[in-house]
Structure 1
């Protein structure tokens, strides 16, 4: 199967069913997809700004993910650069609680390691 944007209704990595949840998990599981969405949650960014925020992402991977996230309608290109679409904002509201959870988890691990 060629590397294409995972969309509901079509087979994706790990699933031939085409179920929407499997397409979403395939897309979000790709390198830098979640990082790009997270960075854009603070507001629009140009390609260069996004590349700086994502630190080690290569221009090739960043271009590929931006294309996939645009085709999936999670981001769009605005006058100030790339930004979350209304659907992307909805998705980010679901992802946002992971930030505090991750910090709590990291603190808990540090306590366990220190003991």
Structure 2
């Protein structure tokens, strides 16, 4: 399994800047959702995590868990999969972005003419 790594070519960066490598990893389908769910709910078994993520397939969940483990964001421990300290750091860094996304949603609903459907 190949995960994005700083210093190597990644999606959006020929130099592999660390932030772009992280965006490449977390930008993969369901990566951020898995990290977010584990951060919010705590340790989960595979089945509980799949249920919490609702529409994720077992194959995609398995792939994302392997990638997130290889990258150091998630580990398997007592009670199932859980975020590591690095994963908690990433989650805490994403919380302000979550607030910006909520403000953006409000702005879009207040400015429907700005959205091109």
TM range, normalised to the smaller chain?
A: 0.7 to 0.9
Q: Which residue is equivalent to 2:33?
A: 35
Q: Which residue is equivalent to 2:101?
A: 102
Deviation of 1:63 (Å): 0.6
CA distance in 1, matches of 2:13, 2:102: 32
Q: Which residue is equivalent to 1:19?
A: 17
Deviation of 1:69 (Å): 0.5
Taking the TM superposition and a 5 Å limit, the aligned residue runs for 1:12-91 are 12-42=10-40, 43-91=42-90
Q: Secondary structure of the residue that 1:41 maps to in structure 2?
A: helix
CA distance in 2, matches of 1:18, 1:109: 33
Quickly say closer, same or farther: Cα 1:22–1:99, change in 2 above 3 A. Answer: closer
Q: Secondary structure of the residue that 1:99 maps to in structure 2?
A: helix
Q: Secondary structure of the residue that 1:97 maps to in structure 2?
A: helix
Moved more, 64-73 or 91-100: 91-100
User: TM-score, normalized by length of structure 1?
Assistant: 0.85
CA distance in 2, matches of 1:101, 1:14: 22
RMSD, aligned CA: 1.8
Q: Flag structure 2 segments of 5+ consecutive residues without an equivalent.
A: none
